[in-house]
Amino acid sequence: MSTALITGGSAGLGLEFARQLAAAGHDLVLVARDAERLRQVAEELGPAHGVAVEVLPADLSVADDVARVAQRLAVVGGRPGEGDLRPVGLLVNNAGFATGTRFAKSRVTTERRSIDVMVKAVVELTHAAVGQMLERDRGAILNVGSVAALTAGGTYAAAKAYVRTFTESLASELRGTGVTVTLLSPGFTHTEFHARAGVPESSIAPEWGWLNAEYVVRTALADVRRGVVLSTPSARYKAASALLRVAPRWAVRALGSYR
Ligand SMILES: NC(=O)C1=CN([C@@H]2O[C@H](COP(=O)(O)OP(=O)(O)OC[C@H]3O[C@@H](n4cnc5c(N)ncnc54)[C@H](OP(=O)(O)O)[C@@H]3O)[C@@H](O)[C@H]2O)C=CC1
Ligand SMILES: CC(=O)[C@H](N)C(=O)O
């Protein structure tokens, strides 16, 4: 089975991607800032599934850290200096966070970090992966966006809108090659995301508006295997996305003020 590199592999959706991909026999490269949590995940999944789990601690808001992860992604296999590293066959650009405050109240350093992690790092890591995957004429890239990309929900939504357009564009560019590109657009999902932003989940949506990480990841991986470009788990969020795409902009702007 191929090796999967997952950013944000220490918690939430990223941890669920690690679990499901390890269970399917994939070796893993896990990227996040919390090295101890990554090591715990590696100790859980490696022996349990008989897969190799590399831990690659990195802060994706730090350019040198992103460059180190990009270097790992660029490995083709068998080249001088690559040792026994295997090429990454699946890149999951998953790491992300909410700034948790309205723009005017936010620290500009937080806004910059948001763009660094959810836009700049996604572009740089995707570029590194595409190069080696095209050389091998096989591979898959899964970028984690959000239904929020269709709203006017602050700079977080703006970052996800970039990822949406970037991913669809790349999917078109690579059509006909052995490399597939998928955009995952989850709705509200129970993870650490909102707690980290200091926003109680109960204040955002009723329980019927929430998804669980296991279902979101299972759906996303099934769509990646099928080469689907747009993966939006659940009928309700498919419907919500369709409505957002046709809704008058004043309504979309009004919805954006929900945070
Ligand atoms: N939960 C939801 O409702 C939704 C989430 N999403 C998206 O899903 C993705 C995963 O989020 P989710 O699992 O929910 O959130 P979690 O907060 O549960 O996990 C976020 C992950 O990102 C990592 N991360 C955060 N900042 C950095 C950084 N600077 N460098 C490297 N890794 C970082 C964290 O690891 P560490 O702290 O160790 O660095 C953690 O592993 C995000 O892109 C999010 O925008 C989209 C739609 C809905
Ligand atoms: C839906 C999202 O991407 C995010 N969890 C949010 O609260 O906006």
* Residues contacting ligand 2 via CB (< 6 Å): 98, 146-148, 153, 187-188, 193
The model carries a pTM of: 0.97
- DSSP 8-class letter at 243: H
Residue 121 lies in domain: 3-258
Total of domains in the chain = 1
CATH of the domain at 9: 3.40.50.720
Q: How far is the CA of 254 from the centre of ligand 2 (A)?
A: 16
pLDDT in tens, 123-158: 999 999 999 999 999 999 999 999 999 999 999 999
Give the residue ranges of DSSP H helices in 77-153: 108-115, 121-136
Helix/strand/coil percent split, the chain, to 5: 55, 15, 30
- 257 band by pLDDT with thresholds 50, 70 and 90: low
**Closest ligand 1 atom to 13 CA:** 13
Q: Under the phi-then-psi rule, with left for phi > 0, alpha for psi from -120 to 50, and beta for the rest, what region is 8?
A: left
Alpha helices in 118-246, H assignment, sequence order: 121-136, 154-173, 193-197, 213-225, 235-246
> Which of 143, 146, 255 has most ligand 2 atoms within 8 Å of its beta carbon, as the pocket-test mutant?
146
φ, ψ (nearest 5 deg) of residue 228? -70, 135
Summarize pLDDT for 38-55 with one digit per residue, the tens. 999 999 999 999 999 999
* Bridge partners, 181 (sequence order): 141
